[in-house]
Amino acid sequence: MATLTFEVVTQERTVVLTDVEYVLLPGIEGSFGVLARHQPLMASLDLGVLEFGPRHGKRRKIALSGGFAEMHDNKLTVMAHTAELAEEIDVLRARQAQKRAEERLAERQADLDIARAQIALQKALLRLKVADED
Partner 1 sequence: MAQSSRDIKRRISSISKTQQITKAMEMIAASKLRSAQETVVSTRPYYERLTSSLGTALRAVEQAGEELPEVARNRGGDTHCLLVLAGDRGLAGGYNAAIIRQAEAFLKEHPQTEMVMVGRKVRDHFRRRNVTSLAEFVGIGDVANLRIAQDIGHVIFDFFQHRLFDNVTILYTEYINTVTHRVKLRGVLPLPEQIKETESEGPEALYVYEPSIHAVLETLVPLYVNAAVYQALTEAKASELGARMNAMRNATDNAGELIRELTISYNRARQAQITKEIAEIVGGADALQS
62 makes contact with partner 1 (CB under 8 A): no
Judged by CB under 8 A, which of 32, 91, 114, 134 binds partner 1?
32
Kind and range of the H or E run holding 127: helix 114-133
User: Which span (35-43, 53-61, 104-112, 122-130) binds partner 1, by CB under 8 A?
Assistant: 35-43
Question: Which one, of 108, 115, 23, lies nearest residue 70 by Cα?
Answer: 23
Note whether 35 binds partner 1 by CB under 8 A.
Answer: no
Contacts of 96 (CB under 8 A, 6+ apart): none
Q: Does 44 bind partner 1 (CB under 8 A)?
A: yes
By three-state DSSP, how is residue 22 classified?
A: strand
Q: Is 75 in the site for partner 1 (CB under 8 A)?
A: no
By CB under 8 A, is residue 77 in contact with partner 1?
yes
Cβ atoms of 52 and 60 within 8 Å: the answer is yes
Relative to beta strand 14-20, strand 41-53 is unpaired
By CB under 8 A, residue 10 contacts partner 1: yes
- Collapse the DSSP code of 3 into the 3-class scheme (helix H, G, I; strand E, B; otherwise coil) and give the result: coil
CB of 43 to partner 1, least distance (A): 4
**Residue 115 lies near partner 1 (rule: CB under 8 A):** no
The residues pairing with 17 across neighbouring beta strands, listed in sequence order, are 7
Q: Find the binder of partner 1 among 13, 56, 58, 108 (CB under 8 A).
A: 13
Chain residues binding partner 1 by CB under 8 A are 9-13, 27-29, 32, 39-45, 66-68, 70, 72, 77, 79, 81
